[in-house]
């Protein structure tokens, strides 16, 4: 049953959702976990709420900021190429 998924698995799933570009799903999972009967009256629920509030604010700022253009001298992937070149040498 879905309500029996253990806490660490829900939190790992939330982390994966964010890592794959779905922060809104991550926040939904964390909110669901915070409101579960076994978590609701614990300190974890408070920490999850704080995390949701802070994360929402940070993603809100990212959504409203304008992107920084890449300069001609800093083409996409050049950082990775420099790291790979150092490994080769």
Comparing CA positions, the residue from 34, 36, 72, 80 lying closest to residue 55 is 34
The answer to whether residue 56 is domain-embedded is yes
pTM: 0.66
Structure tokens at 14: 């939330």
| Residues in Cβ contact with 86 at an 8 Å cutoff, skipping those fewer than 6 apart | none
Give 3's pLDDT tier (boundaries 50, 70, 90). Answer: low
What's the farthest any 2 CA atoms get from each other in the chain? 57
Q: Binning pLDDT at 50, 70 and 90, where does residue 62 land? A: confident
**Number of other residues whose CB lies within 10 A of the CB of residue 58:** 11
Q: Which residues contact 30 (CB under 8 A, 6 or more apart)?
A: 10, 11, 14, 48, 51, 52
- Residues 15-28: tens digit of each pLDDT: 999 999 999 999 99
| Structure confidence by residue, pLDDT tens digits, 28-60 | 999 999 999 999 999 999 999 999 999 999 988
Going by C-alpha positions, the residue among 83, 84, 17 that lies closest to residue 55 is 17
Within-domain flag for 71: no
Q: Residue 10 sits in which domain range? A: 2-64
Q: Does some domain include residue 42?
A: yes
Higher pLDDT pick, 70 / 25? 25
Q: Is residue 33 part of a domain?
A: yes
Tally of domains in the chain: 1
């Amino acid at each position: 049953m879905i309500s029996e998924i253990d806490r660490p698995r829900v939190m790992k799933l939330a982390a994966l959702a964010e890592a794959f570009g779905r922060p809104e799903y991550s926040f939904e999972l964390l909110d669901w976990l915070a409101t579960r009967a076994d978590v609701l009256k614990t300190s974890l629920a408070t920490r999850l709420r704080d995390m949701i509030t802070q994360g929402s604010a940070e993603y809100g700022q990212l959504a409203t900021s304008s992107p920084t253009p890449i300069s001609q001298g800093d083409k996409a992937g050049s950082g990775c190429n420099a790291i790979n070149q150092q490994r080769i040498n």
